[in-house]
Amino acid sequence: MAEVERTVEDRLREEYFTLRPEIRRVADRLEAEIRYHLLPISGGLQGHERLAVKCRVKSCESALEKLRRHQEERAFQRNRPEIYTLTSLNDLAGVRVLAFPQSRLAEIDQLLREELRGWTADPVEDDGELQALKYYGYCQASDKIRGEYQVVSMLIGLFWEVEHSAIYKPDARLSGIAGHRGMRERTRDVVKALRAFEEQFEALARQD
């Protein structure tokens, strides 16, 4: 019987499950470091303020899809499977720092930049407007797997979680929603409304 040829995806899936324990270590280490560095802030929050640190490991299929999107014409070269590796991604392991109100974001960002020196800034922007602060780099858990952390408004970050699970990981029926112009516009409307809510809240809070 002829041997079935392994595809690029087959090779990358094998690589992913080989790397997964190391990815998990990076995620756990980065989460622990960030929680520790943020203790001066989290310990001094006022009653209405919130700070949360969320950790995640990118799934195999999400990693493959992201690597595919980075290629020309969003496709792998089938005759050169050896040129692809998931270690080229910056966000196999990630941490998101959520804060409310948004006035805490600058303080959190400055503290983490001082503690995690040498990390590369890669801000999240939409239509020229800053949505979140994002950085990637290496921690002590691995010199092969880069980690990523984001600092974002809690209201916007929680909305993104719902949006991501509903739109970016849909079933086959919903596969066209993410790129729909009307949906992208509505998403921008929600983000603007949440930002306006926070600005109004903080303005009124400062008056008390």
The pLDDT tens digits for 37-74 are 999 999 999 999 999 999 999 999 989 989 998 888 88
Q: Which residues pair with 169 in a beta bridge?
A: none
**Stretch 115-130: mean pLDDT:** 91
Span 23-29, average pLDDT: 98
1 confidence band (pLDDT: 50, 70, 90): very low
Nearest C-alpha neighbor of 136 from the set 152, 151, 121, 153: 121
* pLDDT at residue 208 tops 90: no
d(C-alpha 15, C-alpha 36), whole Å: 32
pLDDT at 85: 96
* pTM for the predicted model, two decimal places: 0.88
User: Can you give the pLDDT at residue 2?
Assistant: 47
The count of other CB atoms within 10 Å of the CB of residue 46 is 9
Per-residue tokens: 206: 């400062």
Average pLDDT over residues 152-157: 96
Q: What is the pLDDT of residues 92-118, one digit of tens each?
A: 999 999 999 999 999 999 999 999 999
Q: How many CB atoms are closer than 10 A to CB 80?
A: 9
**Torsion 48-206-123-136 (CA) sign:** negative
Which domains does the chain possess? Answer: 8-154 (3.30.460.10)
